[in-house]
Structure 1
Amino acid sequence: MTDENRGFHRPVRRPAEVLDRLFAAEDPAEVSRIAHSTASALLNRVRANPDDAVVERLIAFTGRHGIDDIAELWSRSPARTLPGALWRLYLLQLMIHDDPHTAALLYERGRTELASADAVVAGAPASAGPDELVALIDTILRGLFQGDFAVALERAAAFCRVQATGATHLADDYESTESERASTLTTRALRLSTYAGDLAACARLWRRESLT
């Protein structure tokens, strides 16, 4: 991602550094209120007037500013809430941007192993490479603000299922020769599978106007 002012931005904290990070709060109820109100205000304002420049700034936010600001707002929200869904999508985006080559490897392996329409639902071309995976996750995130929100969540869930399948099969490949790498891939597969379930549930809640 290019940015003529990159040198003036704060360092980007990598996804692995914040995935399990806890943020201190004196009043958890207040943190929850802020998380829900900011997520709702952001989404409603942008979807009501989806200016292309504003949407593109939101898509590029983590690449320019890191993940900490978003994490402070939304990372401790329950998974099946609006702030929880937004947090998971931004973190997923940053994980793909951070290592698109591994993402492409997992996606391609998952696409060939998974006997479902998930790869079609996610929307990546066949034999998608790193650039295509980066473009896909950005397109999915863009759909939150400019398209059908539930469809964007379903595409993200399908994307996670493909990636999780690829990680599982690669873990099996490495189990006998590189057990540590196999363990890392298994952990990633579990996380992605959990994300898939949560995002799919959020899509159903959104359609019932119950995602808050």
Structure 2
Amino acid sequence: MTDDARREYHRPVHRPADTFDRRFGSTDPAEVSRAAHATASALLTRVRDEPEGEVVDRLVSFTDTHGIDTLAELWSHSPALSLPGALWRLYLLQLMVRRDARTAALLYERGRSALGTVDDVVAGAPTPAGPEELMALVDEILRGVFTGDFAVALERAASFCRVEAAGSLDLADDHDVAEPDRAAGFTTRALRLDTYAAELTACAGLWRRDSLT
């Protein structure tokens, strides 16, 4: 990256959504980490201070328009228990549902029946929750990041992950004998979602202690 490019990147962000429109090509881990934390903090602070509807809409639908690559470049290498790490996981969760809402809905309904906890209530999905309802739910959770209680949004996302994970495990059991490869795929998905749930819950606790950076 040239000196001119670095100066351009580190200029103050005047429009919140512009944070995502900049590319960062450094391979220095320390510089990448600083950029990740700076962009996440600037974005969240500016939008939450002035939550304009059009800006929030752009952020909620960002991956529909731009894909996930820009976010991956900014945040994917961040620690799980950090502000950019939390935001990265929320966008990944939204993308997972949008890419295959039908499967997500199936897993959610199976998980709701199998789990037997308050997570379904905390996540806030309607009953029953079809593909359209789940896409609306993950958008609502992400919108809450910018316009509501950030910790609550993280906790809702964590509960959603736990319900989906339980559904994945339940479906894996169905295919364990006849389709072991498919069962393994659902088991892997369940483990990933369960990990996200634990990480997002921990991030919510850190946020409430003003320690999520």
Counterpart position of 1:112: 113
Q: Which residue identity lines up with residue 83 of structure 2 in the other structure?
A: L
Counterpart position of 2:53: 52
1:24 to partner: Cα distance: 8.0
1:127 to partner: Cα distance: 1.5
Alignment length, in residue pairs?
Answer: 190
What are structure 1's unaligned runs of at least 5 residues? 1-22
1:25 to partner: Cα distance: 4.8
CA distance, structure 2, for counterparts of residue 103 and residue 171 of structure 1? 14
Normalised TM-score (structure 2): 0.88
- The answer as to 2:58 corresponding to 1:85 is no
Counterpart position of 2:193: 192
Counterpart position of 1:20: none
Counterpart position of 1:75: 76
Counterpart position of 1:29: 30
Greater than 3 Å deviation, 4+ residue runs: none
Instruction: Name the SS of the counterpart of 2:210 in structure 1.
Output: coil
Counterpart position of 2:132: 131
Counterpart position of 2:142: 141
Normalised TM-score (structure 1): 0.88
Q: Which residue identity lines up with residue 98 of structure 1 in the other structure?
A: R
Q: Which residue identity lines up with residue 79 of structure 1 in the other structure?
A: A
Q: Deviations over 1:165-199 (max 9, x none)?
A: 00001001100011111010000000000000000
Q: Deviations over 1:43-75 (max 9, x none)?
A: 000000000110000000001100000000000
Q: Deviations over 1:118-151 (max 9, x none)?
A: 0000000112000000000000000000000000
Bigger radius of gyration: 2
What are structure 2's unaligned runs of at least 5 residues? 1-23
